Every structure is written in structure tokens, then in C-alpha cells.
Amino acid sequence: MVRVDDRLIHGQVVVGWVRMVGATRIVVADDAVAKDETQKTLMQFAAPPGVKVTIIGVDQAAAALAAAQFGDENVMLLVRDPQALVRLMKGGVPMTRVNVGNVRAAPGRERLTKEVAAGPEDLSAWKELDHAGVILEAMWVPGQSTTNFNQVVRARR
């Protein structure tokens, strides 16, 4: 499973998504968190028992995932924003479907759905993923109805 959620590892991911997809490993691909030992430690403690956690930069994650470094483990990949997804895709990570979770509103960002806001760079990255044929599904929590995020992105052209 590939999920965009600017909170990365947090209660909703641990309680809902990890269980739903049966993840045995969470890979957080985020340059800032990979350099912050405190954040890394907090995220590792937030993971459920028995689930391995790897927190690395986006380019390092791309190399590891493209080389199938995690073998047959059931990996849940978490990124903060769509730009990271584009970097992963360009780094050789096959991507067919993405779960779009929470991306908070902030100054200069327009709300695309209740849970997802985007600035110009985000929207450009979402469009690039859409053009590449990636299925984008906005679903905040497991079991919630799914919003076709590709259509949301296309409506912003």
C-alpha cells in the first residue's frame, strides 16, 4: 500500500491501515524525518508490535524499493506529499494505486477535498501522477467511501 499522509506514522495509520492491509513493514520515505533522530524514534515507537519500521530519505527509499530490498514483506509506504511520490516513481518504484489521506491546509494551499489541500507544486505533482496512469483514491480511514482523486485533480486543470 502506498499512502500520502502528512502525519506519516500516527494512530490512524497504526490502528486502521496497517491492520487492514496486513503490513509487516512500514517504510517512511521522508527526507526531513530521516535526518531527525527524535522524530524517527517517536515514529518507531508508534508502530504496532511486530511491524518493522524503516525511515529513510525519498531517494534512498526509491533505490531500496526498486531493488526489492524488502523481499516478500508486505510493505506500507508512507510519504508526506505527492512530490515524494513523483520522486519515487522516477526512481523506479512501480506505482499503480495510491491512497490519498490527510494533507493539511495552510496559507497558499487550496482545499481539494475535506482532508486534502494543495499548493501549486502539490497540484502539479498530483497531475503528473494522474498523467502517468496512477489510480489516486482519497480515503481518510479504512471503510470510508472512496473519492476518485484523479477526477478531483482533473477538475483543477
DSSP string, 29-94: E-HHHHT-HHHHHHHHHHSPTT-EEEEE-HHHHHHHHHTTTTTT--EEEEESSHHHHHHHHHTT--
**CA torsion, ordered 99, 105, 41, 10, to nearest 10 deg:** -50
CA distance 132 to 134: 6
Domain with 128 in it: 2-154
Q: What's the structural domain count of the chain?
A: 1
pLDDT of residue 10: 83
Q: What is the CATH number of the domain that holds 53?
A: 3.40.35.10
pLDDT of residue 35: 97
Please, are residues 8 and 103 in contact by the beta-carbon 8 Å criterion? no
CA 96 from chain centre, in angstroms, equals 13
Cell output for 56? 529513510
Overall residue count recorded for the chain in this entry:
157
Note if 10 is an active site residue: yes
**Active-site annotation holder among 10, 25, 40, 127:** 10
pLDDT in tens, the chain (157 residues): 999 999 998 876 777 888 889 999 999 999 999 999 999 999 998 888 899 999 999 999 999 999 999 999 999 999 999 999 999 999 999 999 999 988 888 888 999 998 899 999 999 999 999 999 999 999 888 888 899 999 999 998 6
Please, are residues 83 and 51 in contact by the beta-carbon 8 Å criterion? no
